[in-house]
A = this chain, B = another copy of it.
Amino acid sequence: MRVVTVAAAQMGPIQKSDSRAAVIERMVRLMEAAKAAGADLIVYPELALTTFFPRWYMPDWTEVDTWFEREMPGPNTAALFEAARQHEMAMYLGYAELTTDHHRFNTAILTDKTASLVGKYRKIHLPGHVDYDTERTHQHLEKRYFEPGDLGFPVFRMLGGIFGMAICNDRRWPETYRVMGLQGVEMVVLGYNTPSVNSQKNAEGPQQRYFHSELVMQAGAYQNSCWVVGVAKAGVEDGHPLIGGSIIVNPDGEIVAKAATEGDELLVHACDLDATKFGKATIFDFARHRRIEHYSRITSQTGVILPPEA
């Protein structure tokens, strides 16, 4: 047994007008509860420090930059890191990153029990669009405000195991899990903000959105025999509803814990990293079963190439 007790710290809505300090206070409260429940690692959502600002079209880039962090930790987040050090709590934290040379990324970091940086990940699968879209019921401007991640899908040794990160829409792509699976990942941690209605298809409401969210994380866990911890920012932000549905999935693809609300809510589960071994050694023993000579399209072509017409 190599048990890592994980706390999935789902967060309820953050309004545009909420201060960073108020949000950090909620996050520290969740961390205290995680500590009391014996957690080693707390997982916060994507862009955990602010409202999901990519829903707002902002022509003024000075305004855009107010949603970004220039340092991590920095003045806005020092209190969170201080609490992590005090509680000896490892952490996954999603935030908007503005680099010193002015690149913008949708980023997550992993810190250890001393609150020291273990690894960084920048979101690769950015959904949405670049320009204001009059056809959509609401905007989803991630492709405007962020560049695609440039760090790949690295994994990191921590807490006696092998951890990987993803962010939101990454979870829908089997490539995400597989690239980490090929590095022996034992737990994938990820945060998300997922609107409750498809902005391009009104008929696709919360029920289907919850279903898809679970489906992809369960498949990713099973097909790579790893734990997956998915954590939502949920609820209604300035009139825009987000699904909750934070889950902890075991290496068999089974949901072992699931959020019941769309507010701040903690799920705690003792995850045995050794439970990943059976699948990795049998049905998903990649070395024995994968046939990369037949996968070449996956890396040689980005989009669809249709077969010739008859």
Contacts and interface: CB of A to CB of B under 8 A. Distances in A.
Contacts of A305: 182-184
Contacts of A169: 283, 289
Contacts of A285: 303
Given A174-B178, A182-B301, A291-B148, A306 B162 contact: yes
Contacts of A301: 182, 292
6 contacts: A169-B289, A172-B223, A172-B283, A179-B294, A183-B307, A292-B302
Interface in A69-96: none
Interface in A100-133: 124-127
Q: Which 9 A-B pairs have the closest CB atoms?
A: A287-B303, A174-B174, A219-B219, A182-B297, A299-B299, A184-B306, A184-B304, A152-B294, A286-B303
Contact of A157 (B173, B284, B296, B310): B310
Contacts of A297: 178-179, 182-183
Interface of A: 124-127, 148-149, 152-157, 162, 169, 172-175, 178-179, 181-184, 198, 200-201, 208, 211-212, 215-216, 218-219, 222-223, 252-254, 278, 280, 282-292, 294-307, 309-310
A156 B124 CA distance: 32
A208 B252 contact: yes
B278 A175 contact: no
B283 A302 contact: no
Contact of A178 (B282, B288, B298, B303): B298
Contacts of A254: 211
A212 B302 contact: no
A159 to B, nearest CB: 12
A278 B183 CA distance: 34
Contact of A215 (B126, B181, B218): B218
Contacts of A148: 291
- Residue of A155, A216, A289, A301 with most partner-chain B CB within 10 A: A289
Contacts of A127: 283, 289
A223 B174 contact: yes
Contacts of A310: 157
